[in-house]
Amino acid sequence: RMRASVFARTSARDGYDVLRGDDKLAFVTELFDVVAESYDRLNDFISLGAVRFWRWWALLDAFARGSRVLDVGCGPGNVTAYCMYTHLTHMAIDCTGVDCSGKMLELARRRCPGATFVKGDAGALGECGIESDAYDVVTTVYTLRNFPDLERALGEMYRCVKPGGKVFVLDAFPPRGAFAWLLRLWLTFALPAIGWLLTRNSKPYAYLANSIQKTATADEVKAMLESFGAERASVQNYWPFGAAAKVVAYKPAL
């Protein structure tokens, strides 16, 4: 009798709280294969458009003309599309996307024909041919809590940045401030319910809600990057309740 997959036999809560390493990679890979087709549409609906706005605003001044960009956890290719096909086409940016989900990469290739997308693990970028000191900017957008080993993945991203280049993180972080309880209520109860109503599958959205509330804070991510030697690291929180933040850190120039 065939054993159920890691995703099938693991609860949404344990998917974040318990799984690590290869089991976590298998869990998130299947999760994103399941939600790929509805991913962007549901994110827009659940966040009332905030996810799309934060991405547009944060990326607007993130790149110099002619930058070579690596997008880790690229999903359906939103950063590549932004840089090469929509908002920044005049800047001659070359963007490569990496993701563990084959279904997400299918969407990305359909959306961005001719762009480069590679299947791989954020914690082992060298295994999919990503070189050291090769990119002006290494980005990851709404992905940190899905990495099997966050510190290892950030270390890999830092390895791939050219001296003088930067790591750029945009993500949802644990809510904070006087009204954080309101966002926690939304995440805990409304998000899985909406996911079930629209897709008849609440598990991916229950995982999302749990992982956002328990992931590393933006300041902790900043500290990890500094531990690798990054300088000029900064955090910019976004409304509402610090629900999203941008973390930027530079690799010292030679």
Convert the pLDDT of each residue in 138-160 to its tens digit. Answer: 999 999 999 999 999 999 999 99
pLDDT tens for residues 172-196? 988 776 667 777 787 787 778 888 8
pTM, two decimals, is: 0.93
- Residue 240, preceding bond cis, omega within 30 degrees? yes
Question: Are β-strands 94-99 and 68-72 bridged in parallel, bridged antiparallel, or unpaired?
Answer: parallel
Mean pLDDT computed over 110-117: 96
pLDDT surpasses 90 at 16:
yes
The tokens describing 5, both together, are 């997959």
User: Considering only 103-112, 128-137, 188-197, which range has the smallest mean pLDDT?
Assistant: 188-197
The tokens describing 181, both together, are 């309880």
The whole-angstrom separation of Cα 141 and Cα 195 is 21
Of 45 and 85, the structure prediction assigns the larger pLDDT to: 85
The whole-angstrom separation of Cα 213 and Cα 205 is 13
Beta strands in the chain (DSSP E): 68-72, 94-99, 116-119, 135-141, 161-172, 231-238, 244-250
Q: How far is CA 14 from CA 4, 9, 69, 191, in A?
A: 16, 10, 33, 18
Q: Tell me what pLDDT residue 242 has.
A: 63
Task: Provide the 3-class DSSP secondary structure of residue 237.
Answer: strand
Task: Provide the 3-class DSSP secondary structure of residue 179.
Answer: coil
Q: What is the mean pLDDT of the chain?
A: 92
Q: Tell me what pLDDT residue 101 has.
A: 97
Q: Tell me what pLDDT residue 42 has.
A: 83
Mean pLDDT computed over 205-219: 91
Q: Environment class of residue 2 by beta-carbon count within 10 Å: exposed (0-12), middle (13-18) or buried (19+)?
A: exposed
Residue 195 · residue 179 · CB < 8 Å: no
Closest CA relative to residue 193, chosen from 205, 185, 184, 208:
205
pLDDT surpasses 70 at 1:
no
The whole-angstrom separation of Cα 157 and Cα 116 is 17
